[in-house]
């Protein structure tokens, strides 16, 4: 049986770190779908295209090539042949990602790539609509949440470690705005699937979260 694990939830809930660690322990590929939306957003940013304009964005999608490469299970992402792992993490790219992700044509553009990856190999895929839209048949779906301050603290640490000059308040404010948009949008809103396990990890450290998900995976996939 193909192992497909979906991890959804708001930004900064810890999806990526958790998925990465679980992937390593279980020998799965970790697919970070947020990076794909960020890459499409980055293209719009670099080419002066309004990310809120569905027509303008749709018109250039044919010029956007998003490719993923995995080295030791770690994902690297390419925009038209150029590695953009770091560029997609800026605050600006985050906002652009959020805008383009609300456009149906962008979601359709990425959907097949995401589904095919999960068909071809055992994956743990993180995003917002993995359990609801991309992999509705995944045998294990997690919806990861944590309180706002905890999430903003993690994002702040991540950004400042990379040398971005932001304040904690800016990060918190931007994160809340982005979440509202992701949750409230009409298409593929970031909400849990009916059969998702909702896991609030505010009080847990990474290893405790990993152990919990692995215990669920062992049960669901008989591994």
User: Interface with ligand DC by CB under 6 A: which residues?
Assistant: 11, 33-34, 37-38, 97-98, 101, 127-130, 178, 182
Our CB check for ligand DC shows the closer of 161 and 222 to be 161
Specify the residue for token string 């993923």.
68
Our CB check for ligand DC shows the closer of 197 and 211 to be 197
Cα–Cα distance for residue pair 46/39, rounded to 1 Å: 10
SS3 at position 162:
coil
Our CB check for ligand DC shows the closer of 130 and 172 to be 130
Q: At closest approach, how far in Å is the CB of 204 from ligand DC?
A: 20
SS3 at position 49:
coil
Asked whether 66 and 40 are in contact (CB, 8 A), the reply is yes
What b/e string do you get for 182-202 counting C-beta neighbours within 10 Å, with b at 16 or more? beeeeebebbbbeebbebebe
Q: At closest approach, how far in Å is the CB of 221 from ligand DC?
A: 22
Cα–Cα distance for residue pair 4/141, rounded to 1 Å: 9
Q: At closest approach, how far in Å is the CB of 95 from ligand DC?
A: 8
Our CB check for ligand DC shows the closer of 162 and 218 to be 162
Q: At closest approach, how far in Å is the CB of 106 from ligand DC?
A: 9
Q: At closest approach, how far in Å is the CB of 12 from ligand DC?
A: 8
Our CB check for ligand DC shows the closer of 69 and 219 to be 69
Nearest to 118 by CA among 108, 133, 105: 133
């Amino acid at each position: 049986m193909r192992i497909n694990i979906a991890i959804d939830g708001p930004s900064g809930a810890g999806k990526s770190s958790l998925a990465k660690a679980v992937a390593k322990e279980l020998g799965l590929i970790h697919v970070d779908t947020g990076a794909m939306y960020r890459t499409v957003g980055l293209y719009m940013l670099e080419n002066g295209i309004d990310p809120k304009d569905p027509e303008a964005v749709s018109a250039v999608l044919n010029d956007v090539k998003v490719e993923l490469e995995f080295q030791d299970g770690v994902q690297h992402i390419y925009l038209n042949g150029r590695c953009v792992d770091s560029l997609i993490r800026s605050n600006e790219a985050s906002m652009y990602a959020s805008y383009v992700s609300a456009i149906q044509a962008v979601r359709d553009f990425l959907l097949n790539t995401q589904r095919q990856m999960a068909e071809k190999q055992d994956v743990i895929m993180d995003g917002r609509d993995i359990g609801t839209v991309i992999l509705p048949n995944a045998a294990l779906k997690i919806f990861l949440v944590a309180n706002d301050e905890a999430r903003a603290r993690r994002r702040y640490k991540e950004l400042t470690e990379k040398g971005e000059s932001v304040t904690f308040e800016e990060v918190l404010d931007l994160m809340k705005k982005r979440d509202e948009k992701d949750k409230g949008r009409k298409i593929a809103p970031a909400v849990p699937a009916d059969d998702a396990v909702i896991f609030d990890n505010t009080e847990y450290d990474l290893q405790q979260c990993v152990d919990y998900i692995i215990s669920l995976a062992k049960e669901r996939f008989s591994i």
